[in-house]
């Protein structure tokens, strides 16, 4: 069986037709020739039609409403390969990356996901988050390659499809912004491992967010971080992380709205149900608390 038959790429997009077409061009040129699926999160700019016109071999799934990260679940449902790689509409996998991911999965049956090294922009500078991934303090099976993770960036991850589906994929109510931590904890809680492998490379050309777009991203990211702390962690850990956010987030309207969204949704039952992570996952989260709270990358500013 070839790599083409074993790994697919699912791309999530919303109102970014030009970037989507560019990224699909890069992915279509890969020697691995992975099957490509684009999940259009209710775009209004003609993204789906443009993809069908320029890339007729790409499967397009048009959703009637923007459901955020859970749209990727629809993409995974549409593929039949053993492994599935995610891309955003502004990212693509480097030549050879998907083949290396398949090799890692084949050698190590406990791997649920492999995370790539992210090169940003035309100058291909390494994303600062890669330093944190490379220096992960987490314990793990020493027979597995790379460093253990309890989180990931969705544009740089390849999953074993069976593991992804077994835990239900992305949490539907979280939307976009920190959604990866929820899925990572579900996978590790179920006995799987996620590893950072720097030899697997992904390119990312993110847009510059400013003004209202940056504020909206910060607001939902703060809400989701609070939700994760309150709904997935024991009370003491939740209080510690909440106190840290109170101390360190900007004292402005966006922060206030993020906290309000988190509290309001709990009362209206819009938030996910409370389900505490297993003890071994909580121990790992505690090891990450200080590095994450001191991180210059994980800041709620806009």
Specify whether the CB–CB gap between 232 and 275 falls below 8 A.
yes
| Domain of residue 290, residue span | 211-294
Backbone conformation region of residue 7, classed left if phi is above 0, alpha if psi is from -120 to 50, else beta: beta
**Alpha-carbon gap, residue 295 to 298, rounded angstroms:** 6
Q: Which helix (H) or strand (E) holds 11?
A: strand 7-13
> Is residue 1 included in any domain, yes or no?
no
Residues 17 and 116 in one domain: yes
Structure tokens, 192 = 């799987």
pLDDT given at position 16: 95
**What CATH number has the domain bearing residue 99?**
3.90.550.10
Q: How many domains does the chain have?
A: 2
**Alpha-carbon gap, residue 89 to 56, rounded angstroms:** 17
Residues 149 and 233 in one domain: no
Last residue of a domain, one of 183, 204, 225: 204
Residues 189 and 48 in one domain: yes
Give 7-63 pLDDT, tens digit per residue. Answer: 999 999 999 999 999 999 999 999 989 999 999 999 999 999 999 999 999 999 999
Residues 27 and 122 in one domain: yes
Residues 170 and 259 in one domain: no
Residues 58 and 121 in one domain: yes
**Alpha-carbon gap, residue 240 to 281, rounded angstroms:** 17
Give 113-169 pLDDT, tens digit per residue. Answer: 999 999 999 999 999 999 999 999 999 899 999 999 999 999 999 999 999 999 999
Last residue of a domain, one of 142, 175, 204: 204
Q: Where are the alpha helices (DSSP H) in the chain?
A: 17-28, 47-54, 71-77, 97-107, 129-134, 161-166, 179-189, 211-232, 235-248, 253-268, 279-294
> Is residue 225 included in any domain, yes or no?
yes
> Is residue 2 included in any domain, yes or no?
no
pLDDT-based confidence at 291, cuts 50/70/90?
confident
Residues 151 and 173 in one domain: yes
> Is residue 299 included in any domain, yes or no?
no
Q: Which helix (H) or strand (E) holds 202?
A: strand 193-204
**Alpha-carbon gap, residue 128 to 139, rounded angstroms:** 22
Residues 172 and 215 in one domain: no
> Is residue 179 included in any domain, yes or no?
yes
- State percent of the chain over pLDDT 90: 85
Residues 60 and 193 in one domain: yes
């Amino acid at each position: 069986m070839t790599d083409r038959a074993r790994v697919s790429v699912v791309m999530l997009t919303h109102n970014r037709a030009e970037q989507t077409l560019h990224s699909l061009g890069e992915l279509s040129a890969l020697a691995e020739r992975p099957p490509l699926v684009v999940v259009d999160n209710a775009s209004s700019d003609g993204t789906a039609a443009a993809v069908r016109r320029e890339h007729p071999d790409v499967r397009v799934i048009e959703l009637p409403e923007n459901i955020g990260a859970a749209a990727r679940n629809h993409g995974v449902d549409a593929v039949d390969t053993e492994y599935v790689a995610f891309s955003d509409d502004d990212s693509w996998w480097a030549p050879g990356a998907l083949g290396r991911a398949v090799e890692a999965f084949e050698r190590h049956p406990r791997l649920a996901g492999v995370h790539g090294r992210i090169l940003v922009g035309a100058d291909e500078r390494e994303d600062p988050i890669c330093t944190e991934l490379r220096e992960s303090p987490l314990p793990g099976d020493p027979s597995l390659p790379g460093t253990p993770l309890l989180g990931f960036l969705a544009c740089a991850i390849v999953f074993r499809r069976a593991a992804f589906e077994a835990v239900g994929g992305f949490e539907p109510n979280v939307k976009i912004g920190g959604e990866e931590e929820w899925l990572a904890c579900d996978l590790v809680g179920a006995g799987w491992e996620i590893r950072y492998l720097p030899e697997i490379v992904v390119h990312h050309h993110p847009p510059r967010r400013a003004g209202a777009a940056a504020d909206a991203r910060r607001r939902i990211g703060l809400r989701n971080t609070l939700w994760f702390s309150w709904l997935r962690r024991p009370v003491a850990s939740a209080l510690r992380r909440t106190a840290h956010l109170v101390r360190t987030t900007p004292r402005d309207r966006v922060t206030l709205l993020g906290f309000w969204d988190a509290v309001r949704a709990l009362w209206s039952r819009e938030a996910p149900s409370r389900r505490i992570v297993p003890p071994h996952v909580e121990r790992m989260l505690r090891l990450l608390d200080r590095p994450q709270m001191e991180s210059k990358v994980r800041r709620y500013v806009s």
